[in-house]
Amino acid sequence: MKILIVEDEIINANRLKRLLEELERDCKILDIIDTVQGTITWLNANAMPDLITMDIRLADGISFSIFEEVKITCPIIFTTAYDEYAVRAFKVNSIDYLMKPIEKSELQDALTKFKFLASAKNDNEDIAGFLKKFIHKPSFRLRFLVTYRDGYKSVDVTDIDFIYSEFKTSHLFLKNGTIIAIPQTMEELEEELDPDIFFRANRQFFIRVESIKSISNYFNAKLKILLYGDSEREVIISREKAPFFKQWMDR
């Protein structure tokens, strides 16, 4: 098993290498890369490995930008300290999403999944196509049951203009201007909402295309979004997320 490690923290990289070699005695660690650009260069110059373990936030950016430059045809095990990218990860050949610090048992489970996929996969089929068929497509939330007066009512996701977090509480901002507090955290919502419809602009906001009034450049390659429903709120998209936002908009 030939493995490429993409990780910008040397302590984590060395620990991951040690764990992989303990769990798979016949594995070969091809290299350890710590940047987006370095990974792109390596993949363009070498044969595709059997497996890649990949951190998400690297020294020079977010690792998802690698997939915009190189067609990766092998499975990916993402290893990260951040849980906000899980949905996006499973769109790019991911077979597992491990939170740091990596537990040996969790890595073992991910490797077992990899070997099962490798044995089940048709040799003539691209791994991305196989993963799409093998991994169950998530079913996204269609509505919210919220408290209303002395009972409850249902709010359809199509009635939501945007979602924001304030004072550690998530709020639905509806198209009619109504604001409703909900118990779900923004991290939970990221797993439940369809990323084709809702884009997580930052830690405080999920926005929809229909909710965007204007998009303007901001300092340090960031973007500033104004919303129709509440134009006083400025939604700032980081330099790292700006390319993904543009890709989400331009389709």
Please give the average per-residue pLDDT across 212-218, as a whole number: 92
Phi/psi at 87 (nearest 5 deg)? -60, -45
CATH superfamily, with its number, for domain 2-134: Response regulator (3.40.50.2300)
Structure tokens at 68: 């915009």
Q: What is the pLDDT of residue 124?
A: 43
Looking only at the bridges linking them, the beta strands covering 61-62 and 179-182 are unpaired
What distance separates the 2 farthest-apart alpha carbons in the chain? 65
Partner residues linked to 154 by β-bridges: 145
For the segment 24-37, what is each residue's pLDDT rounded down to a tens digit? 988 999 999 999 99
Strands 51-54 and 76-80: parallel
Per-residue pLDDT tens over the stretch 103-139: 899 999 889 888 877 765 554 455 555 555 555 555 7
Name the residue type at position 250: D
Helices (H), the chain: 10-23, 36-45, 66-69, 86-89, 104-120, 127-134, 186-192, 242-249
- CA nearest neighbour of 215 among 202, 196, 228, 203: 228
Say how many C-beta atoms besides its own lie within 10 A of residue 193's C-beta: 22
**pTM strictly above 0.85:** no
The amino acid sitting at 102 is I
* 192 φ/ψ angles, rounded to the nearest 5 degrees: -95, -25
Q: DSSP secondary structure string, 200-234?
A: E-SSSEEE-GGGEEEEEE-GGG-EEEEESTTTT-E
The DSSP symbol for 157 reads G
Tokens at 4, concatenated: 């490429």
Class of domain 143-249: mainly beta
pLDDT of residue 14: 94
pLDDT in tens, 58-111: 988 889 889 888 988 889 999 888 766 766 777 777 888 888 888 899 999 889
Per domain, the residue ranges of the chain are: 2-134, 143-249
Residue pair 228/206 in contact (Cβ under 8 Å)? The answer is no
The DSSP bridge pattern shows strands 179-182 and 169-174 to be antiparallel
| Out of 129-138, 207-216, 219-228, 233-242, least confident range | 129-138
